[in-house]
Chain A
Amino acid sequence: MPERVVTIVPEDGLHARPASKFVEAANEFESEVTVGHVDGESVNAASMLAVTGLGAAAGDEVRLTAEGDDAEAALDELERILTTPEEDL
């Protein structure tokens, strides 16, 4: 399964607007996408409650996985959101 490890850039972590953009994007792809700390459990990236539950802060490393025809495109977009400073999103 395609996967990628990404370091979170937005100052407030995966929270508020970046989290909202992230979950919205995860919902736009056909692929099933998960996200989790590299040393922790992964959750459904399309669920705001689940993503909020990660408490992922700036500088944390998370692993993204995607399964489906558009997996690479989904990973590209989710990585872009996680590595873009909040003010540029």
Chain B
Amino acid sequence: MLEDDIDRLLPLAHISLSEPPAEKEAAIEFLLDLIADNDRVSDRAAALEALREREKEATTGVGMGIGIPHAKTSAVDEPSVAFARSGEGIDFDAMDDEPARLLFMILVPAEGGEEHLQILSALSRALMHEDVRETLLEAEDAETVQETVREAVN
């Protein structure tokens, strides 16, 4: 189901190949702005607060160089994913202490039920594959990132 939705979930506008801020909180805002600049966030402060609350509960730095900040919030009307990557790596408080280089943000509507967990688990499974991580780290354009995610969540 997820692979058919990639254009809607992760449009090219939500993919950045620019270097994000090197600090976790600022990097989270950077990802949020990719979605907000695409006019999908009705209340940026509320979305940021939901993301911060989730990080407070437990970090979304899942190790292997990956951070997946995510939240359910009424500030979005449709499920949205954003992508950025860090050449330097960002301290995401991961248990394996590996700095996060691949960053995905997931925002889903407050009434989205289990949808955010489905997106989160599909992305996590995709990122278990080293070749997927390598391709995302080396991609030279947003289209390659989008295509790689589409194939990997299949």
A and B from one assembly? yes
Report whether A49 and B66 are in contact in the complex, using a CB–CB cutoff of 8 Å: yes
Residue of A nearest to B58 (CB): A20
Near B by CB (< 8 A), chain A positions 32-89 give: 47-50, 52-55, 57
Q: Tell me the dominant secondary structure on chain A's binding face.
A: helix
Residue of B nearest to A44 (CB): B128
Given contacts A16-B54, A57-B117, contact A52 B95 (CB under 8 A): no
Total interface residues on B, using CB and 8 Å? Answer: 23
Report whether B94 and A55 are in contact in the complex, using a CB–CB cutoff of 8 Å: no
**B57 shortest CB reach to chain A, Å:** 5
Q: B127 at interface (Cβ–Cβ under 8 A)?
A: yes
Q: Tell which of B27-35, B80-88, B118-126 binds the partner.
A: B118-126
Inter-chain contact total with CB atoms closer than 8 Å: 51
B51-72 contact mask (Cβ, 8 Å, vs A): 1 or 0: 0001001110111101010000
Which positions in A face B, CB cutoff 8 Å?
Answer: 12-13, 15-17, 19-20, 23-24, 27, 47-50, 52-55, 57
Which positions in B face A, CB cutoff 8 Å?
Answer: 54, 57-59, 61-64, 66, 68, 94-96, 114, 117-118, 120-122, 124-125, 127-128
Q: Report 11 cross-chain contacts, Cβ distance below 8 Å, ordered by A residue.
A: A15-B120, A16-B57, A17-B57, A23-B95, A47-B64, A48-B96, A49-B64, A55-B117, A55-B121, A55-B124, A57-B114
Q: A49-B62, A57-B117 are in contact. List 16 more A-B contacts (CB 8 A).
A: A15-B120, A16-B54, A19-B58, A20-B58, A20-B59, A23-B95, A47-B64, A48-B61, A48-B62, A48-B94, A48-B96, A49-B124, A49-B128, A50-B124, A53-B125, A55-B120
